[in-house]
């Protein structure tokens, strides 16, 4: 059965195969509750979220955290190292300089000032607490929580022994078993023509995450400025890919790898992705497609 709702900034769908529609609906509700729990806990828009608490205490005091938050910070730290500093959960503050709706570029001085508040390397955290050293620093779990929620919802459904499930949270997808143990067939949307599929993949017990700037960017002349900002410069990377999709054992890894690839030059991204060793797809600004998933 299909269960649709809105969360994590977009339309979400669960597809669940269980003994009966009624039982599937029960499970869908529980998984929905889990997604909302994570949204409430980590959304920077909510005053009662741990994110808001951490950000309000930046430069002042450390904030105590639970096991789940510690592990997410730990994961973000691993991604930071693995990406050579490109994956940085403190880069969210840069959005203040950029107005993608106005189609104007930011003031360089402002970018440089804001950049002083970016720096994952300065974040201190342990099993019990986290501390942002400077006032104005912010952590934004947005780079991990949506993908983690896909995995958490799927884990909950697996635990409830449903016959099969697919979790789609605003485009990040995880799935296992389409009822008879067969995989789910998913199409990856073409960045410029969403009704076309640029590739199809099969999800057996894996996840597909995509990162792309086809919706939000600034175009000036023939140059495109992606909304995915490099934490080292405060600007989008030159010649960054248009869209990246990755198939991985879980959505968290798929999503962060896609984000990291979007922060590299297209050619560097292609090399990094093929070195990573999992199925990938990259569309560059000239609409060329590359990767092991291309052409399927």
**Binder of another protein out of 145, 201, 244, 264 (CB under 8 A):** 201
Q: Residue 61 or 78: which CB sits closer to another protein? A: 78
| Per CB under 8 A, 181 contacts another protein | yes
How distant is the alpha carbon of residue 120 from its chain centre?
17
Q: Which residues in 10-39 contact another protein (CB under 8 A)? A: 17, 19-23, 26-27, 30
**Binder of another protein out of 62, 68, 96, 268 (CB under 8 A):** 68
Tell me the longest C-alpha to C-alpha distance in the chain.
60
**Binder of another protein out of 41, 49, 62, 75 (CB under 8 A):** 75
Spatial neighbors of 98 by CB under 8 A, at least 6 apart, are 106, 218, 227, 229
Q: For residues 259 and 261, what is the distance between their CA atoms, to the nearest angstrom? A: 5
- Ordered DSSP codes for 120-189: GGG-EE-SSEEE--STT----THHHHHHHHHHHHHHHHHHTT-SEEEEEETTEEEEE--SSSPPEEEEEE
| Per CB under 8 A, 47 contacts another protein | no
C-alpha angle 158-163-164 in degrees, rounded to nearest 5: 70
| Per CB under 8 A, 289 contacts another protein | no
Q: Residue 76 or 97: which CB sits closer to another protein? A: 76
| Per CB under 8 A, 242 contacts another protein | no
Distance (Å) of CA 26 to CA 33, 168, 180: 11, 18, 21
Q: Residue 19 or 60: which CB sits closer to another protein? A: 19
| Per CB under 8 A, 197 contacts another protein | no
194 φ, ψ (degrees, to nearest 5): -60, -20
Q: For residues 171 and 78, what is the distance between their CA atoms, to the nearest angstrom? A: 24
| 3 state DSSP class of 78 | helix
Total residues in contact with another protein, by rule CB under 8 A: 56
| Per CB under 8 A, 133 contacts another protein | no
Q: What is the closest distance, in whole angstroms, from the C-beta atom of residue 269 to another protein in the complex?
A: 13
Q: Residue 170 or 294: which CB sits closer to another protein? A: 294
| Per CB under 8 A, 259 contacts another protein | no
| Per CB under 8 A, 127 contacts another protein | no
For residue 156, give the nearest of 42, 22, 67, 28 by alpha carbon.
Answer: 28
| Per CB under 8 A, 247 contacts another protein | yes
- H or E element that contains 87: none
**Binder of another protein out of 45, 222, 277, 286 (CB under 8 A):** 277
Q: What is the closest distance, in whole angstroms, from the C-beta atom of residue 45 to another protein in the complex?
A: 22
Site stretch for another protein (CB under 8 A), options 65-73, 101-109, 229-237, 261-269: 65-73
Query: Do residues 123 and 70 lie in contact, with contact meaning Cβ atoms separated by under 8 Å?
Result: no
Q: Which residues would be at the binding site for another protein (CB under 8 A)?
A: 17, 19-23, 26-27, 30, 67-68, 71-72, 74-75, 77-79, 81-82, 148, 151-152, 155, 158-164, 176-177, 179-181, 201-202, 205-206, 247-250, 252-253, 256-257, 275-279, 292-293, 296
């Amino acid at each position: 059965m299909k269960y649709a709702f809105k969360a994590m900034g977009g339309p979400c769908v669960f597809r669940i195969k269980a003994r009966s529609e009624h039982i599937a609906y029960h499970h869908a509700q529980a998984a929905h509750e889990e997604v909302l729990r994570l949204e409430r806990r980590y959304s920077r828009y909510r005053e009662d979220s741990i994110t808001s608490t951490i950000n309000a205490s930046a430069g002042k005091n450390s904030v105590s955290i639970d096991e789940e938050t510690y592990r997410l910070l730990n994961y973000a730290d691993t991604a930071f190292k693995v990406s050579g500093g490109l994956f940085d959960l403190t880069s969210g503050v840069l959005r203040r300089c950029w107005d993608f709706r106005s189609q104007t570029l930011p003031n360089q001085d402002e970018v440089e000032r804001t950049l002083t508040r970016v720096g994952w390397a300065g974040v201190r955290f342990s099993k019990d607490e986290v501390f942002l050293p400077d006032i104005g620093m912010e952590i934004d779990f947005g780079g991990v929580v949506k993908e983690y929620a896909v995995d958490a919802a799927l884990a909950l459904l697996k635990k409830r022994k449903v016959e099969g499930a697919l979790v789609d949270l605003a485009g990040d997808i995880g799935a296992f078993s389409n009822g008879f143990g067969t995989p789910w067939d998913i199409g990856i949307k073409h960045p410029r023509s969403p009704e076309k599929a640029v590739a199809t993949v099969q999800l057996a017990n894996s996840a597909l995450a995509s990162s792309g700037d086809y919706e939000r960017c600034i175009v000036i002349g023939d140059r495109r400025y992606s909304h995915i900002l490099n934490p080292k410069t405060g600007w989008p990377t030159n010649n960054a890919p248009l869209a990246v999709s990755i198939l991985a054992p879980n959505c968290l890894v798929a999503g962060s790898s896609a984000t990291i690839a979007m922060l590299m030059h297209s050619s560097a991204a292609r090399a990094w992705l093929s070195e990573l060793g999992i199925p990938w797809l990259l569309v560059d600004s000239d609409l060329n497609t590359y990767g092991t998933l291309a052409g399927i």
